[in-house]
Structure 1
């Protein structure tokens, strides 16, 4: 049900056969993206089933809003949501849809989905439950698109019929009442998480094959139930993946497809292609993207520069940062047992990777890493090894805890950190443990990569 596709003039001319959305006509004006999600972490310490938002300028690196807290929380049904989705409506503004499920009780059977209206994603109104069926089953991962031929919105979701999940559809003009459900797509096995885009008049839907946790592409020249046929083999990162989300770059002829691993131990993966019709996707290196902290099951929509600015002004960027390793980009700087190191995301306590980058304790032109969950403690070097320690008021501590940001040795768009009191030494990881070592332009490439990091969220 995605709403972030560019249609060619030829595609736009096929009334009723393509997903016609307001953003298609104004795609040139978009310069950013908004993402809806909920949160979980490996031990479920971060579990929160309210609506979270993040924004991005490039569609790859994301800034959580509202300190990664929910911007609105359901108060009806299960009083929790999963799988949020944002649609820009034909009449302006947005509608937000989500699964009615608070947590992970997969036996919970709700015939409803959560719905909010929003003029700008800064305020939310008209909160309600929309009944989509009367079956003894759930309504998972709802998404929607405008069906120009019918003059209505289609709401597509997963429900069990015939012994397995299929994709069902209801039609609505207002997201207050909906038509009776129909089977939209049934491959003969468990299928969930449908996601739609249109390119040159052809409609594409990617979904999760729930029997092997891969993503499959289908296509159709119409939007009619039963008209989509599979045209790709399974896409996956070598582990189970779900929740496909396809979004087009605002600046290039590139499409990105996001996927979320299904467990709380999971994380996002991202693929790209220049040709959706080919069904061929290349998995991006983790270096290219950063998901919002603890985010699950994203719903992504393009937004304008003014909408991006307004959202950031309303909800605010985090007061903390995460710092990613260049050559192990699935790992982030963290403290563990007071030792500075890099570890694979995600992990708990997730707060161990959160840092307030404050003016350097020894020189305000530099920076010091103050722990978010131990705010009286800083990363400092001792015998060249990095440790988390409480300030003792000495000049030596302040000096050991101060670094200067410089252009990254391995990539000048990233960052390297030079020690204040050992200016020939830089922060680097070695066997995943942080230390300071001499690094120069003639150092081995591996050393320079070890000393390069990305400051983000």
Structure 2
């Protein structure tokens, strides 16, 4: 091997190493993207995926569950929403059942050791409530308050959007607020857009609350993700804009800032795969489903970030 060939080999080896380092979360200097999700019907608990770039996701722990559900009668853990709160802890809410009137809640400092799982009876006061599905929790740092919100069908309400398809579910979104997950406000109506609505998720940008929701209308079918906005956390959301997703059924949106783009991940549940759309300005959206990859069997959850140190502990678990 001459000197030129030897030099080229060194350069190629260095390039390979740099490429590996740049996509390996265990050695990145930046935070690691995490994705909480469920599989099947949610009976086996909480799963995590991780990513160094926000586009290519791998199952953590070879896909094993990190928490087994115990809350509620049916003991499911569907739609797991995980956020980091103002206290530095991770707070999670989830769907415990297809037909109970409460949701699950637990907290953790490391995503490994969890508090006792609690059943929050957020709709028990409403005898005509059929369900409490797809809860999310949002922390507003400016107000130092948490809002938990979800979708419920209350029999007899909003007959103008009632359909007999899909067991006649006809959701609207409701909420409670809390500062400590011990005392909660009364349950109130959160979002009534004039259509069957579910799967809300929130971000706050430039003092504005931006709500991504699923239009659950079955006749004629919508099944898409739309966006509403407000200057107030708990009220005042305007009409939902046009769909930001395409000619497929989408649900379970969750949002992250990846570089200079906003990315909304969602579940293409008829196709049994995850999809995504992206925007530079939260106005114009492009489908980038072919740019993302998730572990097989991933069902929707939430995206969030953790530190390298936290990620290394998770890898050891």
Normalising by structure 1, report the TM-score. Answer: 0.56
How far apart are residue 86 of structure 1 and its match?
0.4
Report the equivalent of 2:213: 207
1:354-413 Cα deviation digits (max 9, x unpaired): xxxxxxxxxxxxxxxxxxxxxxxxxxxxxxxxxxxxxxxxxxxxxxxxxxxxxxxxxxxx
Summarize the Cα distance change of 1:176–1:111 in structure 2 as closer, same or farther, 3 Å threshold.
farther
Contact 2:244 2:277 in 1 (8 A): no
Q: 2:253 aligns with which of 219, 233, 244?
A: 244
How far apart are residue 146 of structure 1 and its match?
2.2
Return the index of the structure with the highest Cα Rg.
Answer: 1
What's the secondary structure of 2:310's corresponding residue?
A: helix
For 1:205 and 1:94, the matched residues in 2 are separated by: 21
Following superposition, which runs of at least 4 residues in structure 1 exceed 6 angstroms of deviation?
none
The answer as to 2:237 corresponding to 1:221 is no
Summarize the Cα distance change of 1:282–1:123 in structure 2 as closer, same or farther, 3 Å threshold.
same
Give the stretch that moved more between structures: 146-155 or 254-263: 146-155
Summarize the Cα distance change of 1:182–1:143 in structure 2 as closer, same or farther, 3 Å threshold.
same
Contact 2:86 2:144 in 1 (8 A): no
What's the secondary structure of 2:31's corresponding residue?
A: strand
Structure 2: tracts of 5 or more residues without a match: 1-28, 159-169
Report the equivalent of 1:54: 49
Number of matched residues? 268
What's the secondary structure of 1:306's corresponding residue?
A: helix
How far apart are residue 174 of structure 1 and its match?
2.4
What's the secondary structure of 1:307's corresponding residue?
A: helix
The answer as to 2:114 corresponding to 1:124 is yes
The answer as to 2:38 corresponding to 1:63 is no
1:85-130 Cα deviation digits (max 9, x unpaired): 00101111101110112xxxxxx42121111111011221222111
Q: 2:305 aligns with which of 295, 302, 306?
A: 302
The answer as to 2:258 corresponding to 1:262 is no
Contact 1:246 1:258 in 2 (8 A): yes
How far apart are residue 220 of structure 1 and its match?
1.0
Report the equivalent of 1:83: 79
1:152-200 Cα deviation digits (max 9, x unpaired): 2110100123242111010112224422111111012100011111111
Report the equivalent of 1:272: 278
- Tell me which protein shows more strand as a share of its residues: 1
What's the secondary structure of 1:309's corresponding residue?
A: helix
Contact 1:30 1:303 in 2 (8 A): no
Contact 2:43 2:69 in 1 (8 A): no
Normalising by structure 2, report the TM-score. Answer: 0.79
Q: 1:97 aligns with which of 68, 93, 96?
A: 93
Contact 2:226 2:243 in 1 (8 A): yes
Contact 1:30 1:302 in 2 (8 A): no
For 1:228 and 1:99, the matched residues in 2 are separated by: 24
